[in-house]
Amino acid sequence: MKYFSFLLLTLFLLPLILYAAQSEYVFFILTQGYPYKQIGFSSRKHEEVCLKFGDKVRIEDEYVRGNITWFRCYREPYFFYLPEGFIVKKATGIHYDSHGNIKIGKEIVDKRNALPVLYRPNDLIPVPLRYSAEGYENRVLLLRKEAEEIFSRMIEDAEKDGVKIRILSAFRSAQYQSYLYYNSIKKRGVLQDSVAKPGHSEHQLGTTCDLTTDEINNVLSQDFENTCAYQWLKEHISYYGVSLSYPKYKERVTGYKYESWHYRYWGKARWEYYQRKYGLFLSR
């Protein structure tokens, strides 16, 4: 009799255990806002629930409506709906070094793979003012120490060749990225592909810069590809372990439009391999 009672209890609890195991927690990534009572942007907002950046909610189910994936979510005591563009999944497979940072060049971040939303390298240092774009002197630029040394050296070497390159943007926290992301959604819709989701931006690594030059008045523009600065970078970045993240004609691979200004430092180990294999040098 005791065995039979235990069996019944197990059969009753098993679906609940499986259901809990299948539940997934995700993070809300807009600055703040209300979820929806039903699927669709025409549905009424669930005004009893105001979500803020980084709030954790539980996914209960998934639906596809047109080109948009929707999730039925739960946050005690309410159920509601959120489009995929409003959430980011928990990062997995992240390995930190003894200092709590992800090893440079080992960070996997793209449209499919996210960083932990609150990740912030603890070795960020200010970029010297002389490397900042003119007109943006009040903008504090931060990079991881090793990346700052490389970008600074690269800029100085370019100047020796008579080419002026400056940094317009560097480290961005996921919370700051959410402001840029939300503004892009307001302009272009939830399927916009101009601004990376918070947690999916290379700028959060602290090893990535948006570069510019006075040839285009130090702005962020695709016209950068027509400058002497861009041509110099094209010919020399391999010497520094730096690469163009979103090249032309690679949109289907990267998931992002071509950005002639967006450069990432991949670390010494990766590029020392190319030095040994192809005879390249990390710096001149």
Q: How far apart are CA 239 and CA 281, in angstroms?
A: 5
Q: How far apart are CA 94 and CA 117, in angstroms?
A: 12
- Are 167 and 206 in contact by the 8 Å Cβ rule? The answer is no
Handedness of CA 190, 177, 92, 242 (dihedral sign): positive
Q: How far apart are CA 275 and CA 281, in angstroms?
A: 5
> Collapsing DSSP states into helix, strand and coil, what is residue 174?
helix
Question: For residue range 33-55, what is the model confidence (pLDDT) as tens digits?
Answer: 999 999 999 899 999 999 999 99
Handedness of CA 78, 79, 83, 85 (dihedral sign): positive
* pTM of the entire predicted model: 0.84
Q: How far apart are CA 215 and CA 107, in angstroms?
A: 33
Question: For residue range 124-157, what is the model confidence (pLDDT) as tens digits?
Answer: 999 999 999 998 888 999 999 999 999 999 999 9
- Are 190 and 155 in contact by the 8 Å Cβ rule? The answer is no
Cα dihedral value 38, 39, 41, 45, nearest 10? 20
Domains of the chain listed by start with CATH number: 2-89 (2.30.30), 124-278 (3.30.1380.10)
